[in-house]
Amino acid sequence: MQSAVQCFNKVKKDCFNFINSQETKTNKFKNKNKMIKSYLIPTCFWIAKKINKNSPLIIGLAGGQGTGKTTITSIISLILKKYFKLKVFKISIDDFYKSRNERKKLSKNKHPLLMTRGVPGTHDYKIIYEFFKKVKNKKFSKLRLPKFDKFKDDRCNKKLWYKINSRPDVIILEGWCVGAKAQKNSQIAKPINSLEKTKDPDLVWRKYVNIQLKKNYKSLFKQFNAIIYLKANNFRVLQKWRIKQEKILWLKSKNKKNLRIMNRSDIINFMQTYQRITQNMFKDAPKYASIVMKLHSNHQINSIKFR
């Protein structure tokens, strides 16, 4: 208990500075102290105990759209660096999206819906797998990893890619479908929304995505030493949070002329491609995740469970 208090005293300034940078005049974080003290610091102590100096600890952090994955990942990374003196590298699975041209080819060869980034099959999983493989090597020296520009809907210029100059102690890969598992073929037969019904009547898209989870992504997710899952109550709450997130993005942007912001209808339609896997994770992820943080409808963590 005493060490947790010491940890809070050492990291609170940096944590609050980061949180303040994420706030707007109309959107303030509530119960910051409790979030850090009761949930994120205990998570960091749990992680620190798992550290193996011979190989990086690879953590997947999952949660539906708008759950706060990037914020939670950033604060956890900050605490691990500041208090535990660990080298941490965090990255989003979004940064590994296939290029726009690659998805164009995929949409022509497999299914038009694969032009829309997001679902398994639209990431370059081989780059992630190779990254995990190389970073486990004791002779690891340095590496560059892609960065994705969502406004351009394409991969950034290589000059802007992430640079890793030494082997991290902890790697956190965050993403909405991180750790997701495939469904049975019988489970994907019935459409769950209008997009699946009208755009994928022959199940081509659903089957392709499910096969990706069953094979390539299953092999990838096996590389994790632990999974942290941010669990929302339902999909409607996620839609509400994602709409709010888009508004905040607009308010915080300094270059509004070149910013393409989705309206409410756009977001709801866009999220239909995420719905099946997200709802399946509501049921399954708490069963296999190492840490489950339950989120209240007010967007705050209200409980945590460690395995």
Q: What is the pLDDT of residues 83-128, one digit of tens each?
A: 999 999 999 999 999 999 999 999 999 999 999 999 999 999 999 9
**Residue 259 confidence (pLDDT):** 56
**Residue 261 confidence (pLDDT):** 64
**Residue 260 confidence (pLDDT):** 60
Pull the structure tokens for residue 127: 């780059």
**Residue 299 confidence (pLDDT):** 86
SS3 content of the chain, % helix, strand, coil (to 5): 50, 15, 35
Q: pLDDT for 252-269, tens place per residue?
A: 565 545 556 677 888 888
**Residue 249 confidence (pLDDT):** 67
Q: Which residue has the tokens 């995420």?
A: 274
Asked if 87 and 171 count as a contact pair (C-beta separation under 8 A), the reply is no
Q: Is the dihedral of CA 270, 274, 278, 280 positive or negative?
A: positive
Q: Which residue has the tokens 């082997």?
A: 167
Helix axis angle, 264-288 relative to 204-214, nearest 10°?
A: 40
Domains of the chain: 2-306 (3.40.50.300)
Nearest to 98 by CA among 120, 128, 122: 122
**Residue 130 confidence (pLDDT):** 96
Does position 298 have pLDDT exceeding 90, yes or no? Answer: no
In a 3-state reduction of DSSP, which class is residue 172? strand
Nearest to 276 by CA among 200, 186, 185, 188: 188
Per DSSP, 40 falls in state I
> Which helix H or strand E contains 199, and what residues bound it?
helix 194-199
Distance in angstroms between the alpha carbons of the first and the last residue of the chain: 20
**Residue 135 confidence (pLDDT):** 95
Percent of the chain scoring above 70 in pLDDT: 95
Mean per-residue pLDDT, 143-170:
95
Rounded Cα–Cα distance for residues 250 and 267 (Å) = 14
Length reported for the chain? 307
Rounded Cα–Cα distance for residues 8 and 40 (Å) = 10
Rounded Cα–Cα distance for residues 76 and 38 (Å) = 13
Q: What is the pTM of this model?
A: 0.94
**Residue 255 confidence (pLDDT):** 55
Rounded Cα–Cα distance for residues 25 and 16 (Å) = 16
